[in-house]
Structure 1
Amino acid sequence: MAKEKNYALVFIYITILIDIIGIGIVAPVLPTLILKLSKGDLSATTQYIGWFISIYAFIQFIFAPILGSLSDRYGRRPLLLWSLLGLGIDYIILAMAPNLIWLFVGRIIAGVMGSSMTTATAYVADISTPEKKSQNFGMISAVAGLGLIIGPVIGGVLGQYGERIPFYAAAGLSIINFMYGVFVLPESLKKSKRRPFSWKTANPIGAMKSIKKEILAPSLIFAFVFIALAGHAMQSTWNVYGIEKFNWKADMIGYSLGFFGVLMVISQGLLIGLFINKLGQKKSIMICLLIYCVSLFLFSLINQSWMAFVVIIPYALGGMATPILQSLISSKVPDNKQGLLQGGLSSIGSITAVFGPLLMTNIFAYFTSGHAPFIFSGAPFVLASVLATIGSVFVYAALKNEKS
């Protein structure tokens, strides 16, 4: 039994790794592919990228809780395999897309099928002993960080041979993972522990309403929203910013994202513990938020490629503010409401992932077009710095209220 569980854990970690690698592989070449299919300029392409990201987030917002509830009813294995096969088909559709319509069809399919990360996390919870659960969940973060390093670099290298090649590579990885799962992966959820499917529990809006009743520090929730929105400047416009500002190709985009991934693993896997042990959560989050706000603003001012790599360093350090904020919010909620809280935060994060990319890509498109009073491709990062500053004020207010 223990050996079977180890095989299952290895498969789950491989699943998560392939998921993140697949996302990372296509990231460096996506702007180029959309630019070719749209037959427009970079400003128009950026707006399409915003819709491309937002549609995926919206579909995920709707379907992730539904698929999660289905996995509680029918088991993790069928839902996980279904997701992996679906993602493989999605990448093939994206690779062969003759126009933008098919590109968006592929993204919708990915949103519907993309429950593999959620189901994989539930699978780990099913098969982990209480004393191993924290360690196994920690491995999920470590493996995801590794994928964030490997994926963009592979995508950048493959993208030099054609903007569609990375999509085929991602499809191959997903289908291989599906085949491996068919023969190796056991079911983790016993029939005695399954529950009937209910639309009430498969409802993201319900979780968001419930979190409003339970949270004891609403200022921290407002901070979470503003800081999450600020993060979409990097997530949604970094690729096109590099193309417009530095004339980057797929390889340089991939290297920059891979470098960021390395720093994220170091900062959130190692340094965050040192920060908190030395300074405590409250001082740590305020210092990290200050670094985060300043680094976002610095991104708007850089004019050389090497500067981008330099500023990524404090940006990654400032990014430690997000997990610290989540920990602070968690400390305000009773133990028996933690699941509700995490579901609510996930739903809020999904909503910001719908509107954040549209906001940032449209700002970029406007300030790189002929309609703006001046050309300023760094505008999304200025806006992000302002949003993060507002979020910091909410955090400061919440911490100050605790003292008084």
Structure 2
Amino acid sequence: MSNAASHTPVRRAAVIFVFVTVMLDMLAFGIIIPVFPHLVQQMTGGDIANAVRWTGIMGAVFGLMQFVFSPVQGALSDRFGRRPVILASNLSLGLDFILMALAQVLPVLFIGRMISGIASASISTANAYIADVTPHDKRAAAYGLLGAAFGIGFIIGPALGGFLGGISIRAPFWVAAGLALANFLYGFFVLPESLPVERRSRVFSLRDANPLGALRLLRRYPQVFALATVFFLVALAQFSLNSTFVLYTDYRFQWGAHEVGYALALVGVCSALVQAVLVRRVVPVFGERRVMLAALLFGMGGFLTLGFATNQWLFLLGIPLLAMAGLGGPTTQSIITRQVDPGEQGRLQGAITSLGSVATIIGPFVFSQTFAWFIGSRAPLHLPGAAFVLSACLLFLGFILGWQATKGLAMPGSTRSPTDAAPASRAMTPLGDAEPGA
């Protein structure tokens, strides 16, 4: 007991660092959102259509780089430890933002966007770090904190970026670089290693450190493969918001930039509250399986509300329901991490991040085309909210898969599964079993 207690400050510092590093990364990316398309437009001679085309291409390339390099970074962290991979990512992001701030021609900006995709793939390592330093029954709360970090970063980032962009179109890139480099220095002096040498993978294999190799890892664990598929379906469903929210609300309710900004701020606030506060309170009471399945139902209800809302007030009621769906990500992550050996956590998280990157690549096209089709003259029925209805269908499929995959986890008020009865050397985290700094 005393040994576990002695490690509590270490774990608190580690979890807090990962929270801060993810928040600062998301803040850095959020800052450039309002100005990046305008910088592309400058470099394409002011042609809006050409700027939109290149912005879309760069977005797809960003997702492709994440897809390819997430398993690579995960495997590297399994072999050499989490700390060097996270620090290298932070340093690379800082230097990359400087490159984009100085870019004068489109090819340089394109290369910068590719590097951003590669470096940001370290989110898989951050997730593996959390699995290393938190006991099984505390992981959902820890992953909830990471979700809150995403929300906070994307609430503050775009607003700050818009303000800085009014000063100079390149100012947000310099501030983003400063945040990433400050994050590197913070980690260099604060971040402890979470994966002891004896629990690391013995070799680094390119055969496993690629998207197909990562999928082979998932297939070795049938329950993990099913839950990773649920994770992918949820990630894909969320792109109906990214791809159609602005155009849909303009088409249906004649919202302008201010109304959309307020609504997205409401999304961010609700999501951050659910992830940071609610996850840690409901999981110990109802158990991870029940919370995960309930979250999928909340998400279905939220998307259906958005899709069929006849007025803007009913539409806004769907936002808290969608925020409640955020209970599902941390619980699904927590369940998945318990099924995989500690020395493979990096590759596991790399595989999951790669699946999310596939959603990044195909989601915008699928939902934008669905929206366009169902407001067009050839549509079998006029349904502007069809993209949201499609998202609800994806979550329903995820609910069925999640239900089947987690039947053995149906234990009231418990976060332990039968697989937790593993030898102590594998089931315990390296930093003891005390309360994490959540």
Same fold by TM (over 0.5)? yes
Tell me the distance in 1 between the aligned counterparts of 2:247 and 2:98: 24
Which residue of structure 2 aligns with residue 289 of structure 1? 296
SS in 1 for 2:207: coil
Q: What letter corresponds to residue 234 of structure 2 in structure 1?
A: I
Which residue of structure 2 aligns with residue 354 of structure 1? 361
1:169, CA displacement in angstroms?
2.5
CA 1:335–1:106: 2 relative to 1, 3 Å = closer
SS in 2 for 1:200: coil
CA 1:121–1:288: 2 relative to 1, 3 Å = closer
Give the TM-score normalised by the residue count of structure 1: 0.74
Q: What letter corresponds to residue 260 of structure 1 in structure 2?
A: V
Paired residues, number: 397
Q: What letter corresponds to residue 54 of structure 1 in structure 2?
A: A
* Residue range with higher mean Cα deviation, 94-103 or 382-391: 94-103
Superposition map of 1:254-333 within 5 A = 255-276=262-283, 284-301=291-308, 309-326=316-333, 333=339
Instruction: Identify the match of residue 170 of structure 1 among 145, 164, 176.
Output: 176
1:108, CA displacement in angstroms?
0.8
Which residue of structure 1 aligns with residue 157 of structure 2? 151
- Residues 189-215 of structure 1 deviation map (CA, whole Å, 9 limit, x = unaligned): 799557543323423322312322321
Which residue of structure 1 aligns with residue 89 of structure 2? 83
SS in 1 for 2:204: coil
CA 1:216–1:80: 2 relative to 1, 3 Å = closer
Tell me, yes or no, if the aligned pair for 2:71 and 2:354 is still in contact at 8 Å.
no
Which residue of structure 2 aligns with residue 380 of structure 1? 387
Tell me, yes or no, if the aligned pair for 1:75 and 1:187 is still in contact at 8 Å.
no
SS in 2 for 1:114: helix
CA 1:133–1:217: 2 relative to 1, 3 Å = closer
Tell me, yes or no, if the aligned pair for 1:156 and 1:253 is still in contact at 8 Å.
no
Q: What letter corresponds to residue 358 of structure 2 in structure 1?
A: I
Instruction: Identify the match of residue 66 of structure 1 among 64, 69, 72.
Output: 72
1:267, CA displacement in angstroms?
1.7
Tell me the distance in 2 between the aligned counterparts of 1:392 and 1:109: 36
CA 1:15–1:253: 2 relative to 1, 3 Å = farther
1:229, CA displacement in angstroms?
1.6
Tell me, yes or no, if the aligned pair for 1:50 and 1:362 is still in contact at 8 Å.
no
Which residue of structure 1 aligns with residue 233 of structure 2? 226
CA 1:26–1:364: 2 relative to 1, 3 Å = farther
| Cα RMSD (Å) | 4.7
Tell me the distance in 1 between the aligned counterparts of 2:403 and 2:229: 12
- Residues 108-150 of structure 1 deviation map (CA, whole Å, 9 limit, x = unaligned): 1111222443445556677x58799858766545544433433
1:19, CA displacement in angstroms?
0.4
Which residue of structure 2 aligns with residue 113 of structure 1? 119
SS in 2 for 1:319: helix
CA 1:158–1:275: 2 relative to 1, 3 Å = same
CA 1:324–1:166: 2 relative to 1, 3 Å = same
* Residue range with higher mean Cα deviation, 271-280 or 166-175: 271-280
CA 1:304–1:368: 2 relative to 1, 3 Å = same
Tell me the distance in 1 between the aligned counterparts of 2:368 and 2:242: 10
Which residue of structure 1 aligns with residue 60 of structure 2? 54
Tell me, yes or no, if the aligned pair for 1:76 and 1:188 is still in contact at 8 Å.
yes
Tell me, yes or no, if the aligned pair for 2:374 and 2:383 is still in contact at 8 Å.
yes
Which residue of structure 1 aligns with residue 396 of structure 2? 389
CA 1:175–1:244: 2 relative to 1, 3 Å = farther
Q: What letter corresponds to residue 325 of structure 2 in structure 1?
A: G
1:101, CA displacement in angstroms?
4.9
* Residue range with higher mean Cα deviation, 312-321 or 92-101: 92-101
- 2:231 matched to 1:203? no
Tell me the distance in 1 between the aligned counterparts of 2:123 and 2:193: 15
Q: What letter corresponds to residue 171 of structure 1 in structure 2?
A: A
Q: What letter corresponds to residue 206 of structure 2 in structure 1?
A: W
Tell me, yes or no, if the aligned pair for 2:31 and 2:158 is still in contact at 8 Å.
yes
Instruction: Identify the match of residue 188 of structure 1 among 190, 193, 204.
Output: 193
SS in 1 for 2:220: helix
Q: What letter corresponds to residue 358 of structure 1 in structure 2?
A: F
Tell me, yes or no, if the aligned pair for 2:78 and 2:343 is still in contact at 8 Å.
no
Which residue of structure 2 aligns with residue 39 of structure 1? 47
Q: What letter corresponds to residue 345 of structure 1 in structure 2?
A: I
- Residues 61-113 of structure 1 deviation map (CA, whole Å, 9 limit, x = unaligned): 21223234445555655544432232223334445656665543322111122
Tell me, yes or no, if the aligned pair for 2:144 and 2:279 is still in contact at 8 Å.
no
Gaps of 5+ in 2: 1-5, 411-438
CA 1:10–1:221: 2 relative to 1, 3 Å = closer
SS in 2 for 1:202: coil
Tell me the distance in 1 between the aligned counterparts of 2:356 and 2:340: 21
Tell me the distance in 2 between the aligned counterparts of 1:279 and 1:189: 29
Instruction: Identify the match of residue 25 of structure 1 among 31, 36, 39.
Output: 31
Tell me the distance in 2 between the aligned counterparts of 1:31 and 1:377: 26
- Residues 30-89 of structure 1 deviation map (CA, whole Å, 9 limit, x = unaligned): 5665677573459x93x7655443322221121223234445555655544432232223
Tell me, yes or no, if the aligned pair for 1:28 and 1:254 is still in contact at 8 Å.
no
Tell me the distance in 1 between the aligned counterparts of 2:227 and 2:194: 35
